[in-house]
Every structure is written in structure tokens, then in C-alpha cells.
Amino acid sequence: MRVNITDIKRFAVHDGDGIRTTVFFKGCAMKCVWCHNPETIASYRQLAFYEHKCKNCGQCAKVCKSHTFAQGRHRYERSSCVTCGKCVEICPAEALAVYGREMDTEEICALLKEDRAYYETSGGGITLSGGECLLQSEGCRAILKSMKEQGIHTAVDTCGFVPRAAFDAVMPFTDIFLFDVKACDEEIHQKCTGQSNRVILENLFYLDEHQKQIEVRIPFVPDFNQDQMEGIADILRKLRHLKAVRILPYHNMAVSKYLALGMENTLPPRLPEAEALRKAKAAFAGLAIR
């Protein structure tokens, strides 16, 4: 079975316990204004042009008509690009990159098994992330099943905005769900992500009812969801299998990705302040905050 991914990151330490290898799937049904992985939103293959890296050598123009040079400046015509990747292969400055490639799940599993020793010594394992990995739930199921057969710990990082059937497909082979909760108020969630949070919260409680371990992850974004913390905490106190709560302070380090992909930069300008972050964490008193 083939799946569409953007990257496989080895020795990851923020995607679950221990040292992990994380597979980033391409495609997401939400568009969070603060998304720091914009290359994972679209389900199709994309070419990125990092203009600040370009040396104006002209090599890419020799293999692709989408690249031209005028008055010593590189111009990239995105509308005529077929993302064949030939320009990426020839670029000596690594100013070009393709996001999105199909891989066979068996090939992915073989790579994941290579790091077994690190998983065992650190209490780690593998994590499927995105984008939203569960939009490709059958591929996820194949990978997770193979890992469990090998005795490897498995985690699924999800925004929760997927059909119930996607969770049914992977639950038997997932040790823990890293579940995003971005807002408790539906209107605010719609403003921040473009989607309602009804299905998300229903899926969160569905996992809890099935006694699945859950780590809830909450992005903390000033001017967007900072007043949602107490409401989210009230929701989480109803869960019986909540292992941990992690507050993720917003950062805007993905600006260059938006520019390179020709996407509108929606990243908020204001970063979290220490005192505001402290108050946000205080809202989760009594929960296993990380």
C-alpha cells in the first residue's frame, strides 16, 4: 500500500516518550492560522523555492521552463510547474525542495525498524503525524500493525478532525494518541482553523470510552485561543484515560516555508509572553501538565 508523506524524521524527542522516528503524512482538512508545517496542508505534491538560498547559477533553467532568469534574478513560474523534481536534483544551493512523495508502507516499516535499538533503550517508538495522518487511515493501520507485531511502541499524532472510522482502523494498534485540542468554543475554533470542533471533541471522548491512552496537546496562541485554556481544562477533566497535557507555545519560525510555497502567510505576529504562558498552565492544575 502506498501513502503520501512529506518526511521521516529520525531521533525525534517531541513526538511522544523517548527517542522516536516520526512519519509526517501530507494533507490536512484544517488550516490553522498558526500552522508551522504549511507544506503538510495540501494533499498534493508541491515545489518550494527558497529565494534567499538561490545563487542565480541558472542550472534549474536548463532542465525546466518554469525557471527563468532576467537581469540576474531567478523567476519561478509556479502555474506551469509539474513538480517533476528535476530542478531540485540539479540545484547546488538547495534552494529548491519538493514536499510530498509516495512511499510503500512496507518500505516505511523497514526504515522504522532500523531504529529499534534506540526505541528500546529510551522507552521510545514510532509516531505517525502530519498534516493529518488519519486521512490515510488504511496506510496508517498497515504501518502500526507491522510495528506492534515487532513489539514497537506506537503513537498517532492527530488533530481529531477525521471520520470515526479512521480511529476504528488504527485503535487496535496504537498505544497512545497525541490529540490536539485548539479551542473549546466552536466559533473560535472555526476562526482559528476553518473547521468546527464538534467532531474533534466527539472523537476525543470516543477514544477515552475505548480506554485509549491520550496525551492532549494545546497550542497557545496569543490573540486567538489564549482565553480558551480554562474551558479546555474543564473538558479534559472529564477524561478517564488522560495521560498528560502539553502546552505548546506558538512560534513563527515557518515564515520562510510560506514564502517558498507561494502560500499566504497567516502566522500571527505576537508570540506568547512568559507570564501569559504561566497563567495558561495554571488553568490545568491537577492534570498531568508537561
Q: Provide the residue-wise pLDDT of the chain in tens; the chain has 290 residues.
A: 999 999 999 999 999 999 999 999 999 999 999 999 999 999 999 999 999 999 999 999 999 999 999 888 999 999 999 999 999 999 999 999 999 999 999 999 999 999 999 999 999 999 999 999 999 999 999 999 999 999 999 999 999 999 999 999 999 999 999 999 999 999 999 999 999 999 999 999 999 999 999 999 999 999 999 999 999 999 999 999 999 999 999 999 999 999 999 999 999 999 999 999 999 999 998 887 77
> What is the pLDDT at residue 287?
86
Long-range contacts of 111-120 (CB under 8 A, 24+ apart): 111/8, 111/21, 112/21, 112/23, 112/143, 112/147, 112/152, 113/150, 113/152, 115/10, 115/11, 115/19, 115/21, 116/150, 116/152, 118/11, 118/19, 119/18, 119/19, 119/20, 119/152, 119/153
Give the predicted TM-score (pTM) of the model. 0.95
CB 2 within 8 A of CB 100: no
Contact 268/214 with Cβ under 8 angstroms?
A: no
Residues ≥6 apart with Cβ < 8 Å to 82: none
Return all residues near 161 (Cβ < 8 A) that are at least 6 apart. Answer: 29, 30, 132, 193, 195, 199, 200
Q: What per-residue confidence (pLDDT) applies to 101?
A: 96
Q: State residue 187's pLDDT score.
A: 98
Of the candidates 282, 284, 276, the one whose C-alpha atom is nearest the C-alpha of residue 223 is 276
Measured between its terminal Cα atoms, the distance across the chain in Å is 36
Q: Which residues contact 201 (CB under 8 A, 6 or more apart)?
A: 160, 181, 235
Cα torsion for 200, 264, 15, 105, to the nearest 10°? 90
For 39, 47, 98, 148, 191, the CA distances from 265, given in Å and listed in that order, are: 12, 17, 19, 39, 16
Tell me which amino acid residue 25 is: F
Cα distance between residue 146 and residue 105, in whole Å: 9
Q: How far apart are CA 258 and CA 252, in angstroms?
A: 11
- Cβ burial 87-104 (10 Å sphere, 16+ → b, else e): bbeebeeebbbbbbeebe
Q: In this structure, what is the dihedral angle of CA atoms 155, 106, 89, 39, given to the nearest 10 degrees?
A: -30
For residue 289, the model assigns a pLDDT of: 74
Return the number of other C-beta atoms located less than 10 Å from residue 56's C-beta: 11
The Cα-based distances of 53 to 48, 91, 264 in angstroms read 12, 10, 20
